[in-house]
Amino acid sequence: MGASAGRRMSPGGSLLADFKRLGALPSAHKRGYQLEVLLEQLFRQAHFRVERNPSVAKPRQTDLVARYGDTWYVIEAKWLNGPADVDVFDAVRSRMERAASSAVIGVIISVNGFTDSAVEDLRVRRDRGPILLLGEEELTQVLSTPRSLVNLLQVKREALITHGRVHLAAAPKPRRRRRPATGLPGAEVRLLDVDLQPLPYVTSGGEFGEFVFVQELPDVDWAFGSGSGVCLDAAVSPFNEDGIVELLYGLDSMGWTSAEPRWNIQQSGANWHGVGAREFVEALRAWKKREKSLDHAHHTEQVTYFDTCRGGGFYTLTASIAAHRFRSVYYCHLSFQLPGVPVDLQPIRHLFEQFDAAAFSYFRPLSSPAVIRHHPEEPVPLEVVGYVVSHSALEFEEAHPDSAPTEWVTGLVVRNPHRGEDGRPASEEWPGGVEESELLVCALRSHHPLDDPKSAYHLYSWEYARTSEALALRPVADW
Protein backbone atom coordinates (compact mmCIF):
# COMPACT_ATOMS: atom_id res chain seq x y z
CA MET A 1 0.00 0.00 0.00
CA GLY A 2 1.42 3.44 -0.90
CA ALA A 3 2.55 6.13 1.48
CA SER A 4 -0.51 8.24 0.79
CA ALA A 5 -3.08 5.48 1.17
CA GLY A 6 -5.42 5.34 4.11
CA ARG A 7 -6.71 8.13 6.29
CA ARG A 8 -4.29 11.04 6.64
CA MET A 9 -3.59 12.09 10.17
CA SER A 10 -3.97 15.70 11.30
CA PRO A 11 -1.38 18.27 10.20
CA GLY A 12 1.85 18.86 12.14
CA GLY A 13 1.61 20.09 15.68
CA SER A 14 -1.19 17.63 16.65
CA LEU A 15 0.60 14.28 16.32
CA LEU A 16 0.35 13.67 20.04
CA ALA A 17 -3.41 14.34 20.01
CA ASP A 18 -3.81 11.91 17.10
CA PHE A 19 -1.88 9.27 19.04
CA LYS A 20 -4.13 9.64 22.06
CA ARG A 21 -7.21 9.21 19.86
CA LEU A 22 -5.83 5.93 18.48
CA GLY A 23 -6.18 4.29 21.87
CA ALA A 24 -9.98 4.47 21.55
CA LEU A 25 -10.08 2.42 18.33
CA PRO A 26 -11.76 -0.95 19.02
CA SER A 27 -9.90 -2.79 16.26
CA ALA A 28 -6.29 -3.68 17.03
CA HIS A 29 -5.65 -4.02 13.28
CA LYS A 30 -6.92 -0.51 12.52
CA ARG A 31 -5.05 0.88 15.51
CA GLY A 32 -1.79 -0.66 14.34
CA TYR A 33 -2.27 0.58 10.78
CA GLN A 34 -3.05 4.13 11.89
CA LEU A 35 0.04 4.01 14.14
CA GLU A 36 2.14 3.33 11.02
CA VAL A 37 0.59 6.36 9.30
CA LEU A 38 1.30 8.48 12.37
CA LEU A 39 4.93 7.32 12.57
CA GLU A 40 5.44 8.11 8.90
CA GLN A 41 4.44 11.71 9.59
CA LEU A 42 6.59 11.80 12.71
CA PHE A 43 9.75 10.75 10.86
CA ARG A 44 9.00 13.13 8.00
CA GLN A 45 8.59 16.04 10.40
CA ALA A 46 11.94 15.06 11.94
CA HIS A 47 13.44 15.48 8.44
CA PHE A 48 13.94 11.79 7.62
CA ARG A 49 13.26 10.44 4.14
CA VAL A 50 10.57 7.81 4.65
CA GLU A 51 8.98 4.91 2.75
CA ARG A 52 6.16 2.69 3.99
CA ASN A 53 6.15 -1.02 3.12
CA PRO A 54 9.33 -0.66 1.07
CA SER A 55 11.11 -3.38 -0.90
CA VAL A 56 14.41 -2.93 0.97
CA ALA A 57 13.82 -6.05 3.08
CA LYS A 58 12.08 -8.33 0.55
CA PRO A 59 10.74 -10.94 0.69
CA ARG A 60 9.84 -9.91 4.28
CA GLN A 61 7.59 -6.91 4.80
CA THR A 62 8.51 -4.07 7.12
CA ASP A 63 6.43 -1.15 8.29
CA LEU A 64 8.76 1.77 7.52
CA VAL A 65 12.25 2.48 6.28
CA ALA A 66 13.69 5.93 6.96
CA ARG A 67 17.01 7.52 6.05
CA TYR A 68 18.80 10.35 7.83
CA GLY A 69 22.09 11.26 6.17
CA ASP A 70 23.84 8.00 5.29
CA THR A 71 22.09 5.92 7.95
CA TRP A 72 19.05 3.73 7.22
CA TYR A 73 16.50 2.79 9.89
CA VAL A 74 14.26 -0.30 9.59
CA ILE A 75 11.25 0.60 11.73
CA GLU A 76 8.73 -1.82 13.21
CA ALA A 77 5.67 -0.53 15.09
CA LYS A 78 3.74 -2.68 17.58
CA TRP A 79 0.59 -2.01 19.57
CA LEU A 80 0.04 -5.40 21.14
CA ASN A 81 -2.04 -6.31 24.15
CA GLY A 82 1.18 -6.88 26.10
CA PRO A 83 4.91 -6.09 25.94
CA ALA A 84 6.82 -7.00 22.78
CA ASP A 85 8.91 -10.18 23.12
CA VAL A 86 12.03 -11.68 21.55
CA ASP A 87 10.24 -12.91 18.43
CA VAL A 88 9.69 -9.30 17.32
CA PHE A 89 13.44 -8.66 17.61
CA ASP A 90 14.26 -11.75 15.54
CA ALA A 91 11.94 -10.58 12.74
CA VAL A 92 13.60 -7.16 12.64
CA ARG A 93 17.09 -8.71 12.64
CA SER A 94 16.12 -10.83 9.65
CA ARG A 95 14.99 -7.75 7.73
CA MET A 96 18.15 -5.88 8.63
CA GLU A 97 20.30 -8.74 7.33
CA ARG A 98 18.43 -8.77 4.00
CA ALA A 99 18.96 -5.05 3.45
CA ALA A 100 21.64 -4.20 0.88
CA SER A 101 23.21 -1.44 2.98
CA SER A 102 25.47 -2.25 5.92
CA ALA A 103 24.59 1.04 7.66
CA VAL A 104 21.19 -0.22 8.83
CA ILE A 105 19.78 0.23 12.32
CA GLY A 106 16.62 -1.40 13.62
CA VAL A 107 14.01 0.61 15.51
CA ILE A 108 11.15 -1.12 17.36
CA ILE A 109 8.37 1.07 18.72
CA SER A 110 6.09 -0.76 21.15
CA VAL A 111 3.31 1.17 22.87
CA ASN A 112 3.00 -1.48 25.60
CA GLY A 113 6.73 -1.76 26.18
CA PHE A 114 9.06 -4.76 26.12
CA THR A 115 9.57 -7.87 28.22
CA ASP A 116 12.64 -7.96 30.45
CA SER A 117 13.92 -11.05 28.64
CA ALA A 118 13.68 -9.26 25.28
CA VAL A 119 15.64 -6.28 26.56
CA GLU A 120 18.34 -8.55 27.97
CA ASP A 121 18.48 -10.50 24.69
CA LEU A 122 19.00 -7.25 22.80
CA ARG A 123 21.84 -6.22 25.10
CA VAL A 124 23.63 -9.56 24.83
CA ARG A 125 23.18 -9.96 21.06
CA ARG A 126 23.92 -6.36 20.05
CA ASP A 127 26.78 -7.63 17.86
CA ARG A 128 24.16 -8.77 15.32
CA GLY A 129 23.33 -5.15 14.57
CA PRO A 130 21.97 -2.36 16.78
CA ILE A 131 18.24 -2.31 17.47
CA LEU A 132 16.85 0.73 19.28
CA LEU A 133 13.70 0.58 21.41
CA LEU A 134 11.05 3.23 22.03
CA GLY A 135 8.25 2.74 24.51
CA GLU A 136 5.11 4.81 25.04
CA GLU A 137 6.78 7.43 27.23
CA GLU A 138 9.45 8.24 24.65
CA LEU A 139 6.98 8.02 21.77
CA THR A 140 4.77 10.69 23.33
CA GLN A 141 7.87 12.82 23.88
CA VAL A 142 8.93 12.79 20.23
CA LEU A 143 5.36 13.15 18.98
CA SER A 144 5.20 16.36 20.99
CA THR A 145 8.57 17.60 19.66
CA PRO A 146 9.50 15.71 16.47
CA ARG A 147 12.82 17.53 16.14
CA SER A 148 14.06 15.68 19.25
CA LEU A 149 13.82 12.30 17.46
CA VAL A 150 17.25 12.48 15.80
CA ASN A 151 19.02 13.18 19.06
CA LEU A 152 17.06 10.51 20.95
CA LEU A 153 18.02 7.80 18.44
CA GLN A 154 21.65 8.91 18.59
CA VAL A 155 21.68 8.73 22.40
CA LYS A 156 20.14 5.24 22.28
CA ARG A 157 22.65 4.03 19.70
CA GLU A 158 25.61 5.35 21.70
CA ALA A 159 24.33 3.77 24.92
CA LEU A 160 23.96 0.37 23.23
CA ILE A 161 27.23 0.32 21.28
CA THR A 162 29.51 2.11 23.74
CA HIS A 163 28.10 1.04 27.10
CA GLY A 164 26.15 -2.15 26.27
CA ARG A 165 23.04 -0.56 27.79
CA VAL A 166 19.51 -0.47 26.40
CA HIS A 167 18.34 3.13 26.72
CA LEU A 168 14.65 3.18 27.71
CA ALA A 169 12.83 5.95 29.55
CA ALA A 170 10.85 3.42 31.61
CA ALA A 171 13.96 1.48 32.61
CA PRO A 172 15.82 2.39 35.79
CA LYS A 173 18.72 4.72 35.02
CA PRO A 174 22.17 3.59 36.11
CA ARG A 175 23.32 5.43 39.19
CA ARG A 176 26.24 7.67 38.47
CA ARG A 177 28.88 7.96 41.08
CA ARG A 178 29.16 11.40 42.54
CA ARG A 179 31.93 13.12 40.65
CA PRO A 180 34.66 14.48 42.95
CA ALA A 181 35.56 18.13 42.64
CA THR A 182 39.23 17.12 42.47
CA GLY A 183 38.65 15.62 39.03
CA LEU A 184 38.32 19.13 37.61
CA PRO A 185 41.21 21.58 37.17
CA GLY A 186 41.85 23.93 40.04
CA ALA A 187 42.42 27.66 39.73
CA GLU A 188 45.92 28.92 39.04
CA VAL A 189 45.18 32.16 40.88
CA ARG A 190 44.42 32.87 44.53
CA LEU A 191 41.88 35.15 46.19
CA LEU A 192 43.17 37.12 49.19
CA ASP A 193 41.47 39.56 51.55
CA VAL A 194 42.98 42.95 52.33
CA ASP A 195 45.12 41.33 55.07
CA LEU A 196 46.43 38.82 52.49
CA GLN A 197 44.53 35.91 54.03
CA PRO A 198 43.32 33.32 51.48
CA LEU A 199 39.62 33.18 50.60
CA PRO A 200 37.67 30.27 49.04
CA TYR A 201 35.52 32.90 47.30
CA VAL A 202 34.60 36.56 47.62
CA THR A 203 31.42 37.17 49.62
CA SER A 204 29.52 40.28 48.57
CA GLY A 205 26.22 41.89 49.40
CA GLY A 206 23.86 41.73 46.45
CA GLU A 207 20.72 40.29 44.93
CA PHE A 208 19.74 37.94 42.13
CA GLY A 209 21.12 38.78 38.71
CA GLU A 210 22.85 36.52 36.23
CA PHE A 211 26.19 38.25 35.90
CA VAL A 212 29.82 37.37 36.44
CA PHE A 213 33.10 39.32 36.67
CA VAL A 214 35.76 38.11 34.23
CA GLN A 215 39.50 38.54 33.88
CA GLU A 216 39.56 38.40 30.06
CA LEU A 217 36.66 38.94 27.69
CA PRO A 218 37.21 37.62 24.13
CA ASP A 219 35.76 39.84 21.41
CA VAL A 220 34.27 37.38 18.92
CA ASP A 221 33.88 40.17 16.33
CA TRP A 222 37.67 40.61 16.25
CA ALA A 223 38.66 38.30 13.40
CA PHE A 224 40.05 38.36 9.89
CA GLY A 225 37.59 39.51 7.25
CA SER A 226 34.25 41.21 7.59
CA GLY A 227 31.24 39.98 9.50
CA SER A 228 30.38 39.39 13.12
CA GLY A 229 30.53 36.64 15.70
CA VAL A 230 27.83 34.06 16.24
CA CYS A 231 25.95 32.71 19.24
CA LEU A 232 24.72 29.21 19.97
CA ASP A 233 22.27 28.42 22.77
CA ALA A 234 21.04 25.17 24.24
CA ALA A 235 18.82 24.27 27.16
CA VAL A 236 20.24 21.29 29.02
CA SER A 237 18.43 19.18 31.59
CA PRO A 238 20.58 18.14 34.55
CA PHE A 239 18.32 16.59 37.16
CA ASN A 240 20.13 18.06 40.14
CA GLU A 241 23.35 19.69 41.29
CA ASP A 242 25.38 16.59 40.41
CA GLY A 243 24.10 16.91 36.85
CA ILE A 244 25.68 20.35 36.61
CA VAL A 245 28.96 18.86 37.85
CA GLU A 246 28.62 16.17 35.18
CA LEU A 247 28.17 18.93 32.58
CA LEU A 248 31.40 20.58 33.74
CA TYR A 249 33.17 17.23 33.37
CA GLY A 250 31.81 17.01 29.83
CA LEU A 251 33.08 20.49 29.00
CA ASP A 252 36.45 19.68 30.55
CA SER A 253 36.79 16.42 28.59
CA MET A 254 36.48 18.45 25.38
CA GLY A 255 39.15 20.94 26.42
CA TRP A 256 36.70 23.71 27.25
CA THR A 257 37.77 24.28 30.85
CA SER A 258 40.56 26.78 31.36
CA ALA A 259 42.65 27.41 34.47
CA GLU A 260 40.68 30.56 35.28
CA PRO A 261 36.92 30.24 34.77
CA ARG A 262 34.92 32.79 36.76
CA TRP A 263 31.64 32.19 38.54
CA ASN A 264 29.02 33.82 40.70
CA ILE A 265 26.47 32.13 42.98
CA GLN A 266 23.56 34.43 43.85
CA GLN A 267 21.14 34.35 46.74
CA SER A 268 18.75 36.86 48.19
CA GLY A 269 21.04 39.35 49.93
CA ALA A 270 24.42 37.82 49.02
CA ASN A 271 26.64 36.85 46.09
CA TRP A 272 29.69 34.59 46.11
CA HIS A 273 32.31 35.23 43.42
CA GLY A 274 35.08 32.77 42.69
CA VAL A 275 37.68 31.37 40.30
CA GLY A 276 38.22 27.79 39.09
CA ALA A 277 36.05 24.83 38.09
CA ARG A 278 37.08 22.73 41.10
CA GLU A 279 36.44 25.64 43.44
CA PHE A 280 33.02 26.21 41.86
CA VAL A 281 31.93 22.63 42.60
CA GLU A 282 33.21 22.85 46.17
CA ALA A 283 31.29 26.09 46.76
CA LEU A 284 28.17 24.72 45.10
CA ARG A 285 28.12 21.66 47.34
CA ALA A 286 28.78 23.76 50.46
CA TRP A 287 25.47 25.61 50.04
CA LYS A 288 24.37 25.04 53.63
CA LYS A 289 27.54 26.62 54.97
CA ARG A 290 27.21 29.60 52.64
CA GLU A 291 23.62 30.28 53.56
CA LYS A 292 24.10 30.09 57.31
CA SER A 293 25.15 33.72 57.21
CA LEU A 294 21.86 34.81 55.60
CA ASP A 295 18.91 35.98 57.67
CA HIS A 296 16.35 34.99 55.05
CA ALA A 297 17.63 32.60 52.40
CA HIS A 298 15.52 32.24 49.27
CA HIS A 299 14.31 28.78 48.31
CA THR A 300 16.35 28.99 45.09
CA GLU A 301 19.85 30.15 44.19
CA GLN A 302 21.18 31.14 40.78
CA VAL A 303 24.59 30.38 39.33
CA THR A 304 26.49 31.98 36.46
CA TYR A 305 29.68 30.32 35.18
CA PHE A 306 32.00 31.79 32.52
CA ASP A 307 34.92 30.27 30.64
CA THR A 308 36.78 30.79 27.39
CA CYS A 309 36.81 28.37 24.45
CA ARG A 310 39.92 26.95 22.87
CA GLY A 311 40.30 28.63 19.49
CA GLY A 312 38.42 31.78 20.49
CA GLY A 313 35.16 32.78 22.08
CA PHE A 314 33.55 31.96 25.40
CA TYR A 315 30.47 30.43 26.97
CA THR A 316 28.25 31.02 29.97
CA LEU A 317 26.40 28.42 32.00
CA THR A 318 23.41 29.65 33.99
CA ALA A 319 21.20 27.59 36.26
CA SER A 320 18.59 27.85 38.97
CA ILE A 321 19.05 25.35 41.83
CA ALA A 322 16.74 24.53 44.73
CA ALA A 323 18.14 25.40 48.14
CA HIS A 324 17.12 22.13 49.76
CA ARG A 325 18.69 18.72 50.16
CA PHE A 326 17.54 17.39 46.77
CA ARG A 327 19.27 20.30 44.96
CA SER A 328 16.89 20.04 42.01
CA VAL A 329 17.77 22.09 38.94
CA TYR A 330 14.80 24.11 37.68
CA TYR A 331 16.50 25.27 34.51
CA CYS A 332 19.99 25.21 33.00
CA HIS A 333 21.17 27.08 29.93
CA LEU A 334 24.43 26.92 27.98
CA SER A 335 25.26 29.86 25.70
CA PHE A 336 28.28 30.13 23.39
CA GLN A 337 29.68 33.18 21.60
CA LEU A 338 32.18 32.23 18.90
CA PRO A 339 34.10 34.05 16.13
CA GLY A 340 32.12 32.08 13.53
CA VAL A 341 30.59 28.71 12.74
CA PRO A 342 33.28 26.04 13.36
CA VAL A 343 34.27 23.85 10.43
CA ASP A 344 34.43 20.87 12.81
CA LEU A 345 31.11 20.68 14.65
CA GLN A 346 31.69 17.29 16.26
CA PRO A 347 32.77 18.56 19.72
CA ILE A 348 29.63 20.69 20.09
CA ARG A 349 27.42 17.96 18.61
CA HIS A 350 28.84 15.37 21.02
CA LEU A 351 28.25 17.68 23.97
CA PHE A 352 24.63 18.29 22.98
CA GLU A 353 24.01 14.57 22.44
CA GLN A 354 25.56 13.65 25.79
CA PHE A 355 23.28 16.01 27.73
CA ASP A 356 20.09 15.66 25.66
CA ALA A 357 20.24 19.29 24.58
CA ALA A 358 17.98 20.60 21.85
CA ALA A 359 18.41 18.53 18.71
CA PHE A 360 18.00 21.51 16.39
CA SER A 361 19.97 24.44 17.80
CA TYR A 362 21.16 27.18 15.51
CA PHE A 363 24.18 29.42 15.11
CA ARG A 364 22.86 32.96 14.91
CA PRO A 365 24.88 36.02 13.88
CA LEU A 366 25.17 38.71 16.53
CA SER A 367 23.12 41.76 15.51
CA SER A 368 25.07 44.22 17.69
CA PRO A 369 28.72 44.56 18.76
CA ALA A 370 29.76 41.56 20.83
CA VAL A 371 31.65 43.66 23.42
CA ILE A 372 30.58 47.09 24.69
CA ARG A 373 33.36 49.31 26.07
CA HIS A 374 33.25 52.48 28.14
CA HIS A 375 35.94 54.86 29.45
CA PRO A 376 34.81 57.39 32.06
CA GLU A 377 35.96 60.98 31.61
CA GLU A 378 37.91 60.77 34.86
CA PRO A 379 39.32 57.65 36.57
CA VAL A 380 37.14 56.60 39.51
CA PRO A 381 38.89 56.09 42.91
CA LEU A 382 38.56 52.58 44.33
CA GLU A 383 38.51 51.14 47.86
CA VAL A 384 40.40 47.84 47.80
CA VAL A 385 39.15 44.96 49.98
CA GLY A 386 41.03 42.07 48.38
CA TYR A 387 43.40 40.84 45.68
CA VAL A 388 43.56 38.31 42.87
CA VAL A 389 47.13 37.00 42.64
CA SER A 390 49.04 34.58 40.41
CA HIS A 391 52.60 33.28 40.23
CA SER A 392 55.33 34.78 38.06
CA ALA A 393 54.77 34.72 34.35
CA LEU A 394 56.63 31.95 32.52
CA GLU A 395 58.67 34.52 30.58
CA PHE A 396 59.83 36.14 33.82
CA GLU A 397 60.83 32.81 35.34
CA GLU A 398 62.81 31.84 32.23
CA ALA A 399 64.62 35.20 32.22
CA HIS A 400 65.38 34.98 35.98
CA PRO A 401 65.85 31.27 36.74
CA ASP A 402 67.59 31.96 40.06
CA SER A 403 64.84 34.22 41.40
CA ALA A 404 62.34 33.01 43.96
CA PRO A 405 58.80 32.60 42.58
CA THR A 406 56.92 35.89 42.79
CA GLU A 407 53.22 36.36 43.27
CA TRP A 408 51.74 39.14 41.14
CA VAL A 409 48.55 41.05 41.70
CA THR A 410 46.49 40.59 38.53
CA GLY A 411 43.12 41.71 39.87
CA LEU A 412 41.43 43.61 42.68
CA VAL A 413 38.35 43.15 44.82
CA VAL A 414 36.90 46.62 45.42
CA ARG A 415 33.77 48.29 46.68
CA ASN A 416 31.38 49.06 43.85
CA PRO A 417 31.65 52.80 43.12
CA HIS A 418 28.56 52.61 40.90
CA ARG A 419 26.26 51.18 43.53
CA GLY A 420 23.47 53.74 43.69
CA GLU A 421 21.73 54.43 46.97
CA ASP A 422 18.28 54.43 45.33
CA GLY A 423 18.86 51.10 43.60
CA ARG A 424 19.94 52.69 40.32
CA PRO A 425 23.52 52.71 39.02
CA ALA A 426 25.51 55.88 39.69
CA SER A 427 26.56 55.99 36.02
CA GLU A 428 24.17 55.76 33.05
CA GLU A 429 26.79 53.76 31.11
CA TRP A 430 27.14 51.17 33.85
CA PRO A 431 25.45 47.92 32.72
CA GLY A 432 22.19 47.07 34.39
CA GLY A 433 22.03 44.07 36.70
CA VAL A 434 25.19 44.85 38.68
CA GLU A 435 24.01 47.92 40.57
CA GLU A 436 23.02 45.86 43.64
CA SER A 437 26.45 44.24 43.96
CA GLU A 438 28.41 45.55 46.94
CA LEU A 439 31.78 44.51 45.46
CA LEU A 440 33.46 44.31 42.06
CA VAL A 441 36.23 41.95 40.98
CA CYS A 442 38.41 43.99 38.60
CA ALA A 443 41.15 43.03 36.18
CA LEU A 444 44.34 44.98 36.90
CA ARG A 445 45.78 46.61 33.78
CA SER A 446 49.32 46.94 35.18
CA HIS A 447 50.34 43.98 37.35
CA HIS A 448 52.65 44.44 40.32
CA PRO A 449 54.30 42.12 42.89
CA LEU A 450 52.14 41.28 45.88
CA ASP A 451 54.84 42.55 48.23
CA ASP A 452 54.85 45.93 46.48
CA PRO A 453 51.33 47.32 47.09
CA LYS A 454 50.30 50.64 45.56
CA SER A 455 48.89 53.55 47.46
CA ALA A 456 45.89 54.16 45.20
CA TYR A 457 43.90 52.39 42.50
CA HIS A 458 41.34 53.74 40.05
CA LEU A 459 38.70 52.32 37.74
CA TYR A 460 39.79 53.29 34.23
CA SER A 461 37.31 51.43 32.03
CA TRP A 462 34.90 48.57 31.76
CA GLU A 463 33.69 46.26 29.03
CA TYR A 464 30.94 43.71 28.91
CA ALA A 465 29.16 41.17 26.73
CA ARG A 466 25.69 39.74 27.04
CA THR A 467 24.78 36.18 26.21
CA SER A 468 21.14 35.15 25.98
CA GLU A 469 21.00 34.54 29.75
CA ALA A 470 23.97 36.29 31.38
CA LEU A 471 26.16 39.37 31.60
CA ALA A 472 29.96 39.00 31.55
CA LEU A 473 31.54 42.18 32.95
CA ARG A 474 35.25 43.11 32.97
CA PRO A 475 35.99 46.20 35.09
CA VAL A 476 39.59 47.35 34.49
CA ALA A 477 41.60 49.08 37.26
CA ASP A 478 45.11 50.54 37.37
CA TRP A 479 47.44 52.32 39.78
Rg of the chain in Å (alpha carbons): 28
CA distances from 430 to 86, 269, 434 (A): 66, 21, 8
Mean pLDDT, range 202-215, rounded to an integer: 92
- CB burial of 125-146 (b: ≥16 within 10 Å; e: otherwise) equals eeeebbbbbbbbebbeebbebb
pLDDT tens readout for residues 10-57: 444 488 888 888 878 877 778 888 888 899 999 999 889 998 765 544
Contact 61, 34 (CB under 8 A): no
- Torsion over CA: 253, 259, 260, 262 (sign): positive
Domains and CATH numbers, the chain: 15-163 (3.40.1350.10), 200-370 (no CATH), 373-478 (no CATH)
- CB burial of 304-336 (b: ≥16 within 10 Å; e: otherwise) equals bbbbbbeebbbbbbbbbbbbeeebebeebbbbb
- Report helix angle 136-144 to 15-22, nearest 10: 140
pLDDT tens readout for residues 380-396: 999 999 999 997 654 45
CA distance 349 to 418: 41
Decide: pTM greater than 0.85.
Answer: no
- Please tell me the predicted confidence (pLDDT) of residue 46: 87
Pick from 33, 101, 94: nearest CA to 67: 101
CA distance 342 to 310: 12
C-beta neighbour count of 419 within 10 angstroms: 20
Which of 141-145, 347-351, 474-478 shows the lowest mean pLDDT across its residues? 347-351
CA distance 3 to 18: 18
Q: What is the dihedral of CA 223, 463, 319, 290, to 10 degrees?
A: 140
- Please tell me the predicted confidence (pLDDT) of residue 397: 54
pLDDT tens readout for residues 431-450: 888 888 999 999 999 999 99
pLDDT tens readout for residues 292-341: 888 888 888 999 999 998 778 999 999 999 888 888 888 899 999 999 98
